Amino acid sequence: MENTKKKFNLRRFAIASAVLYIVLLIGPIVGLDIPVIVESVKANPLQLVQFFIIGISNGAIIAIIALGYTMVYGIIELINFAHGDVYMVGVFTSLTVLSVTGTLESKDPGKIVFGLILALVIAIVVCAVLNATIERLAYKRLRNAPRLAPLISAIGMSFIIENVGLMWAAQAWLVPSFGTTGGASQKVFPDMLGVLFTSMGWDVNLLASSGLALRLTIKDLLVIILAVTLMTGLYLFVQRTRLGKAMRATAQNRDAAKMLGIDIDWVITATFLIGGGLAGAAGLMAGLYNNTAWWFMGFRAGLQSFTAAVLGGIGNITGAMLGGFLIGLLASFSDGYLNARWTNALVFATLVLILLFRPTGLLGEQTGQKA
Amino acid sequence: MKNIRSGITFGIIGGLLTFLFGGWSVTVIGCLMGVGLGMGMAGRFERKDPLKIALAVLPSALTAAVLLVGLSLYQNNFVQEAIGKRPAAENTVLYGNLIGFLGTVLFTTLLAALRGLPEKQEQTARMILLAALIVAFPFVDKLTALRWTAQIIFALIFVILGLGLNIVVGYAGLLDLGYAAFFAIGAYTTGILSSPQHGIFMNFWLVIWIAAAMAALWGFMLGAPTLPLRGDYLAIVTLGFGEIVPVLFRNLIDVTIKEPFTCWILPGLIRLFGAETTMACITFVEHEDLTAGEKGISPIGRPVIPFINYEFQSSNPIPWYFLIIMIILLSVFIIRRLRDSRLGRAWMAIREDELAAAQMGINPVTTKLAAFAMGATFSGFAGAFYAAYIAGIFPSVFDFSASIIILCVVILGGIGNINGVIVGGLVIMTADRLFLPALKDFLSSLLTHTVLPSISDPVVQRAVSDNANPILYRFLFFGLTLVIMMAVRPEGLIPNAQVRAELHSNETPPIEDETPKSKKAKKG
């Protein structure tokens, strides 16, 4: 007995050291230069905490977008490829609202707060309606078609919305801060929260007085608090309300739910509305936190959130939140210690590895393996 | 009545196209339109006397020709002025329209009349006619100074890519959203092996095979981990690979490989015991620029025809045109043989029902891997040709949108149908490369000469002129293609009978409708 256990351990040790050797050998090609990383962590351990804070804040945004993926996948088993682009529309909508209401130039705290709340509401409504419209136009009639047809349709929708974003970013008459460089370049989303807190006389950095070389801003807190509120609200909604129950029933078995008198079409529309609304809220939050607006940002955000949804177990709302935070941390550490140019590839590699080795995800209930 | 309607549709589309291109384009458009119209209408007739068929299609041919020439003359006399150009010379107008008219009528009646021959002869005759047209095209293009050949070559590159993707998506039923990765691998293999980047200058005729082999190898290697996946998860993983590969090519600009044992582990241990060390560190590569990153690899060697020592030039597209036509012919030949082989039938069995196929003794693992590898091979050819033709490669060409454009080609043309994919590739890429730029020129000159002067508000003026650029809406068109095709005609323009039946399996089977169509599709 003891002998076999020893052998087993030896074999594991051999495999682990082989993997370590290979990582040390070819890791530096993709920026995974462990000795260098160890050195930089040793030199500035506080940076680790800093990346952790950034990762959690970005992870909160990713988690909210991931909720939209996971809910839609849970109900109609479709990867709503256009969801990331709905989030991009959320960023642009809120930026446009802020610009049209004159909030961008304002220094008056009351006006800024009002503008931000208005932007949040309008972004949520626009994205919710957009997402539901996408479902009506592109997915509804394909509900009984072979599985790949709605996916291809979703990719097409994603392209259409990306193009809308590209054109939107070129409309300098609508939002003067877009400038005249055309729609393809990244645009600045003004740091309204910074302006707001400065005008109220607060220091944005909460740790400024502690003397540590760390930044934990009110923005971080606000993003995390808003995200956690939205997630809790959604969780309670799905668990407690009648519509939430109908959603869960539809996810389990659409035909049976229909027989029991649930209006499937309305449940699916409601799912898309909620998912789109969350994406809209995430859009405003991401714009305020990262201060960029770009027509192509939905693609990267979409894939990160989809990875998060798969990592947590697709169809599982708690899983999507967990996955969002984990992917946020992964992306943040990769940005910090490897190189930002490898982050996308790393997230993709994570997605591939999860799908290959644990397709049910960390907390997964659904297998998602039906052909 | 239906025939006349086709004639009107074709005539109006062709005539509107002359709005964009002007000049001699009416001749080429007329002939191409005649071929399309004739082939389209031929299927509607029973096999009978060719002369009767010719007479029967003559009215619609004449309708199309009259519409074409009428619109073309209108263009020359009125539209040219509105876009601020001078009408073409009288000779050009007279001969261009005359040949265009005759070409439309002649080709329509001729191709429709071929239907009257026995099936074997009909196919041979049609082949000869199409071959003659394909050979004549670049020379006519040169004579008429339209300069379409260079763009048609891009369309043909995407035809090869579509044919390769068709093996994976159409035959084996595996949705691959990262197909451009293999295109990139083929192109970069060519770039690395025949450019000053590494000082290697290999012969193109050798490199193209190495590129294909390399793409096949990577198709095999990236296909292997996806075997347990199905449906949309497979699609997402291939998308992931398709994103990772360009990222690698973009960023492999500073490659360092050191042997870890001598570089870190031993020195680390020694330092742990407090001793100083100056060990020799085994280094394989240090700061090697493998792919030149964002600025791309260029110049890449061009093919040289041996014995006569003719080097292909970028200024003369005609040799390139014939080279890619030869590659396409070779690809079509190989793919047809593959499709009808044991392997091809195994692919289709896997596509229909993997479990049942496995039960019948088909090995799903090797069959799927063969599909990935064979599909990638053709993109290796396309990549090698592309790299040599452009004489430079840049990582941004191979991103996600390229994969989706190739997917558009397959889906628009018809999943699983070689002829469909060829038509799809030509339609999508000529629309992207010829039609949109021409439309952009047309609109911008129309705006500056006619529309903008009548708008007084400078803000509106600027907004209109900024947004009236159809090239900015490329993605919108590709997206619309996918969405509309999926909603209206998921089997594509020229469907494969089996795929069509499968895609409409949940509807009541239209039995009478199915028979003539399936006969037609079998030929593809």
Q: Cβ contacts of residue B167 below 8 Å, gap of 6+?
A: B335, B338, B347, B371, B374, B375, B378
- Using CA atoms, how far apart are residues B230 and B234, in angstroms rounded to an integer? 5
Q: To probe the interface with A, which of B261, B290, B476, B488 has the most A CB atoms within 10 Å?
A: B476
The one-character DSSP state at A188 is E
Mean pLDDT computed over B50-67: 84
Q: Using a CB-CB distance cutoff of 8 angstroms, which residues of chain A are in contact with residue B486? A: 138, 142, 145, 149-150, 152-153, 156
Structure tokens at B154: 């891009």
CB contact under 8 A, A348 and B243: yes
Count how many residues are written for chain A. Answer: 371
Q: What is the 3-state secondary structure (H, E, C) of B102-166?
A: HHHHHHHHHHHHHHHCCHHHHHHHHHHHHHHHHHHHHHHHHHCCCCCHHHHHHHHHHHHHHHHHH
pLDDT tens per residue across span A350-367: 888 888 888 788 886 544
pLDDT tens per residue across span B285-336: 777 777 887 888 888 888 888 888 788 888 889 999 999 999 999 999 999 9
CB contact under 8 A, A173 and B251: no
- Using CA atoms, how far apart are residues A337 and A325, in angstroms rounded to an integer? 18
pLDDT value of residue B521: 42
Q: Is pLDDT of B513 > 60? A: no
pLDDT tens per residue across span B216-225: 999 999 888 8
pLDDT tens per residue across span A225-278: 989 999 899 999 998 999 999 998 998 888 899 999 999 999 999 999 999 999
Q: Using a CB-CB distance cutoff of 8 angstroms, which residues of chain A are in contact with residue B476? A: 159-160, 163-164
Exposure class string for A261-282: b at 16+ Cβ within 10 A, else e: ebebeebbbbbbbbbbbbbbbb
CB contact under 8 A, B480 and A152: no
- Using CA atoms, how far apart are residues A139 and A145, in angstroms rounded to an integer? 10
pLDDT value of residue B290: 79
Q: Using a CB-CB distance cutoff of 8 angstroms, which residues of chain A are in contact with residue B264? A: 24, 35
- Using CA atoms, how far apart are residues B485 and B494, in angstroms rounded to an integer? 12
B139 touches chain A (CB under 8 A): no
B278 touches chain A (CB under 8 A): no
Q: How far is B323 from chain A (nearest CA, A)?
A: 33
pLDDT value of residue B40: 81
pLDDT value of residue B505: 62
Q: How far is A57 from chain B (nearest CA, A)?
A: 25
Q: What angle do CA B433, B435, B440 make, to 5 degrees?
A: 100
Break chain A down into helix, strand, coil percent, rounded to 5. 75, 0, 25
CB contact under 8 A, B232 and A369: no
pLDDT value of residue B402: 92
pLDDT value of residue B322: 94
- Read off the pLDDT band of A371 (50, 70, 90): very low
- What is the rounded (10 degree) CA torsion for B226, B229, B231, B234? -30
B293 touches chain A (CB under 8 A): no
**Contact indicator for A197, A220 with CB cutoff of 8 Å:** no
- What is the rounded (10 degree) CA torsion for B383, B389, B391, B394? -40
CB contact under 8 A, B476 and A164: yes
pLDDT tens per residue across span A286-296: 999 999 999 99
For residue B299, say if its preceding peptide bond is cis, omega within 30 degrees of 0.
yes
Q: Which of A147, A162, A344 is facing B231, going by the closest CB pair?
A: A147
Helix (H) or strand (E) holding B505: none
Q: Is pLDDT of B443 > 90? A: no
- Using CA atoms, how far apart are residues B252 and A191, in angstroms rounded to an integer? 35
Structure tokens at B493: 């323009």
- Using CA atoms, how far apart are residues B413 and A339, in angstroms rounded to an integer? 41
Residue A357 to residues A319, A362, B53, B358, B368: CA-CA distances in angstroms?
17, 11, 62, 23, 19
Q: To probe the interface with B, which of A29, A76, A300 has the most B CB atoms within 10 Å?
A: A29
B412 touches chain A (CB under 8 A): no
- Read off the pLDDT band of B279 (50, 70, 90): low
Q: Is pLDDT of B392 > 80? A: yes
Mean pLDDT computed over B493-511: 66
| A50-64, A268-282, B250-264, B470-484, range with the lowest pLDDT | B250-264
Q: What angle do CA B163, B222, B524 make, to 5 degrees?
A: 15
% of chain B residues with pLDDT over 90: 30
pLDDT value of residue A8: 65
- Read off the pLDDT band of B507 (50, 70, 90): low
**Contact indicator for A359, A370 with CB cutoff of 8 Å:** no
% of chain B residues with pLDDT over 70: 95
pLDDT tens per residue across span A200-210: 877 777 777 77
- Read off the pLDDT band of B12 (50, 70, 90): confident
Q: Is pLDDT of B510 > 60? A: no
Q: How far is A23 from chain B (nearest CA, A)?
A: 9
Structure tokens at B496: 């494969």
**Contact indicator for A275, A66 with CB cutoff of 8 Å:** no
Q: How far is A163 from chain B (nearest CA, A)?
A: 6
- Parse chain A into domains and list their residue ranges: 59-298
- Read off the pLDDT band of A7 (50, 70, 90): low
Helix (H) or strand (E) holding B20: helix B2-21
pLDDT value of residue B277: 66
pLDDT tens per residue across span B67-92: 888 888 888 877 777 777 777 777 77
pLDDT value of residue A26: 74
- What angle, rounded to 10 degrees, do the helices at A264-290 and A45-76 form? 160
Q: Is pLDDT of B515 > 60? A: no
Q: How far is A1 from chain B (nearest CA, A)?
A: 34
pLDDT value of residue B467: 81
Q: Using a CB-CB distance cutoff of 8 angstroms, which residues of chain A are in contact with residue B466? A: 170
Highest average pLDDT, of A189-203, B48-62, B259-273, B331-345, comes from B331-345
Chain-wide mean pLDDT for chain A? 86
Q: Cβ contacts of residue B30 below 8 Å, gap of 6+?
A: B14, B65, B68, B69, B99, B100, B101, B102, B103, B104
Q: Is pLDDT of B120 > 90? A: no
pLDDT tens per residue across span A73-102: 888 888 899 999 999 999 999 999 999 998
**Amino acid symbol at B342:** R
B474 touches chain A (CB under 8 A): yes
